[in-house]
Structure 1
Amino acid sequence: MRTFNWAILGPGRIARKFAADLAHVPGAKLHAVASRSLAKAEAFAAEFGASHAVGSYEELLAVPGIDAVYVATPHSEHHAHTLLCLRGGLPVLCEKAFAQNAGQAQEMVRVAQEQGVFLMEAFWTRFFPAIAQALELVQSGVIGEVKHLVADFGFAAPFEPEGRLFNPALAGGSLLDIGVYPLFISQLFLGAPAAVRAVSTPTGTGVDANCAMALAYASGATATLFSTIAATTDNRCVLYGTKGQLQLLGRFHAPTGVRVQLLGEAEAQEFPAPTAGGGYQHEAAHVQQCLAQGLRESPLLPLAFSLALMELLDAVRREIGLRYPGE
């Protein structure tokens, strides 16, 4: 079996989870770690068995044998760091939100295509087995025509004005960090909305603490979506159809199965879909499959989908009046 040498650019909290999950991916090996701090890169590399550690992102381009780079820096940096890697000929799996805005995302896609290099948004939810189950059930008409979708994601974060979640310069706020999940799931099941409305509650730094969204679709369906960094919510997603309803079990962004309740039936059907590890291994394995086939983008999460999602995020930000520095 071929070995795929992964590099991590930005060894923070989510990168730790990704690195740990590479142990569940056949043929995957953490090969290199890049940080602005050499000491941090070396400690991360030692913990996860990487052969190379560098103290700047630019130095990563000189490390031999890299097959793919996982970009896990703050949202505000995704654009620059992805372009750095793409222009160096390195395939990129870029953490969501894909970029700060649609303009940045469009440039990332253009450069990937010009360079002929693989690029994918690291939207791990898309690759959970339960998502494949849910899509199959909905598309086969089990719950009839979908009329409404509800999804929420929230946790209570301590107010740290300079921290990633609250700093406007780091594209902070609930929307880009976790509101992207309800928007993602609505786009996956319902497509692009015909109308978008949103309201928000600002934090002391001006980014959104709460964001409530209402979407309408040409099909006649609607969606009610919510994100917050001020309270813990159920992290729940339910699709309501003309024949019944479907719920993603567990936290919907990392689902453990699907429950279907049909109208007129006393008992709900459950379809468990357990996963080993933390769940990041699914997207890593998919990237390896794409690279092995010589693909430049994912058939399950194509670049057009990520661009549409960024445009939707921009539309919500226009509704709530949120702009980041430099925009």
Structure 2
Amino acid sequence: MDKFGWAYIGCGSIAHTTANELVKTDDNQIVAVWNRTKSKAEDFAKEYGGTVYDTAEEAINAAGVEGVYVNVNGDKHAEYTKLSIKNKKPVLCEKPFTVNEKESKKIFDYAAENDIYVSEAMWTWHNETALQVKEWVTSGVIGDIKSVNCAFAVPLLKHSDNPRLTTPFMLGGALLDLGVYAVRYCYELFGIPEQIKCEGDMHEVDYAEKIEFQYPGFQAKMHISMKEDAGNFFEIKGTKGSISVPKFNSSKQARLKTDGKEEVFEMEGLLYGTQFSNVAAEIRAGRKEGEKISAKSTIEVMALLDECRRQMGLVYPQEQSKDLEGDNS
């Protein structure tokens, strides 16, 4: 069978990171490329393959394109996902999926109306480590959950002057860049919390926040920051044992401790590559949404992020306008 053909809409840092793994898979290839700055698209295509097009729509409709990977900045996700749906092309869209829950619903409704596959690129949950952690939790091997602690605190602001991190209109802030992974992890393992508390270090956007999700019998505490190095981990303690996941969003290892014994799960292979292979298989199988990353899950996680922003007082400029990108009227 021929390799699955992708159109890359956007050629920034995440595009290079994902493409580096995509080209190592046996079942995917990049056939079309577009970027606002054409020279960047040309450099990208030389390295990873594909034909460069003058417009995004031309790339989406290029010969051999079976799926569109939207990885432009978050404020433009809805625009190019909508364009792909309009042109009847399945979409894998990077996180944050759109600006908020309302716009995410509109996109998925538009996709359903047009019978087109759309899924969020939440690569963590395409991979074996997170799925193993979920199996441990749901099996009850560590007993009743007593506490959850998570940190995703990396000094992005010290190492990058990219305006997307701090510009409100570009959906800047730690929550939608880093916190989405922690919130998603809790959601996947424990569902929707009974109560949410979120306190942020606010500037024009949130530079950091402490989030607490209240579940029956325990709290999940998350420390999110893009201004300091305070760790990247997810730890779960239960009545019969514990689970620890270093670098949880991209981990290839997880540890289970019970009754003085330790079990270490380790995986090999690609992380982003697995996501592309899974999504390609879903599209070719005729699915209209992701099996691992469903429309419902993306919408519900966006609602949790919305509540965190509400408590921090973070409103993006797009949300003050009736003419949001995701409006398909």
TM-score, with structure 1 as normaliser: 0.93
Pick 1 or 2: higher relative contact order, CA cutoff 8 A, min separation 6. 2
1-side partners of 2:121 and 2:87: how far apart?
A: 20
Whole-angstrom CA distance in 1 between matches of 2:127 and 2:230 = 21
> Which has the larger displacement, 158-167 or 221-230?
158-167
Report the alpha carbon displacement of residue 155 of structure 1 after superposing the two structures with TM: 1.4
State, as a whole percentage, how many aligned pairs show the same letter. Answer: 30
Q: Aligned ranges for residues 214-225 of structure 1 at < 5 Å?
A: 214-217=212-215, 219-225=216-222
In the alignment, is the contact (CA less than 8 A) between 1:41 and 1:55 conserved in 2? no
- Higher mean C-alpha deviation, range 119-128 or range 56-65: 56-65
In the other structure, the counterpart of 1:181 is: 181
Q: For 2:232, what is the secondary structure of its paired residue?
A: coil
Unaligned runs of 5+ in 2: 320-329
Residue 210 (structure 2) pairs with residue 212 (structure 1):
yes
Residue number among 278, 283, 308 corresponding to 1:286 in the alignment: 278
Query: Which structure 1 residue ranges, 5 or more long, are not aligned?
Result: none
Residue equivalent to 1:95: 94
Q: Give distance in 2, aligned partners of 1:65 and 1:269.
A: 45
Contact 2:208 2:226 (8 Å CA) reproduced: yes
Tell me how far apart the structure 1 counterparts of residues 44 and 161 of structure 2 sit (CA, whole Å): 27
Paired with 2:99 and 2:202, the residues of 1 have a C-alpha distance of 18
Cα distance in 1, alignment partners of residues 291 and 196 from structure 2 = 27
Q: What's 2:292 paired with?
A: 300
- 1:237 pairs, out of 224, 234, 240, with 234
Distance 1:162 1:12, change over 3 A: closer
Deviations 1:142-190 (CA, angstroms, capped at 9, x unpaired): 1112232221112113377771101111000000000101101000100
Instruction: Give the structure 2 partner of residue 40 of structure 1.
Output: 40
Q: 1:255 Cα deviation (Å)?
A: 1.0
Give the counterpart letter for 1:143 in structure 2: I
Matching of residues 3-152 of structure 1 within 5 Å: 3-50=3-50, 52-152=51-151
Are 2:60 and 2:68, in contact at CA under 8 Å, matched by a contact in 1? Answer: no
The C-alpha deviation readout for 1:206-257, integer Å capped at 9, x for no partner, is 100111101112x323210121110112210011112111112x31101112
Which one of the candidate residues 243, 266, 271 is aligned to 2:265? 271
Q: Is the 8 A contact 1:161 1:167 kept in 2?
A: no
Deviation at 1:12, TM superposition (A): 0.4
Kindly indicate whether the alpha-carbon contact (under 8 Å) linking 1:37 and 1:56 is maintained by their aligned counterparts in 2: no
CA distance, structure 1, for counterparts of residue 126 and residue 13 of structure 2: 20
For 1:144-183, what aligned pairs fall within 5 Å after superposition?
144-158=143-157, 163-183=163-183
Range with bigger deviation, 150-159 or 282-291: 150-159
Aligned AA for 1:319? Q
The answer as to whether partners of 2:69 and 2:91 remain within 8 angstroms in 1 is: yes
Given that 1:39 and 1:55 are in contact with CA atoms closer than 8 Å, whether structure 2 keeps it comes out as: no
The AA in structure 1 aligned to 2:212 is A
**Partner AA of 1:80 in structure 2:** E
**Structure 1 match to 2:325:** none
Q: Following the alignment from structure 2 to structure 1, what is the Cα–Cα distance between the partners of residues 68 and 147?
A: 38
TM superposition score normalised by structure 2: 0.93
SS at match of 1:16: helix
Deviations 1:63-113 (A, max 9, x none): 222111111111111111111111111110000111111111011101110
- The number of equivalent residue pairs is 318
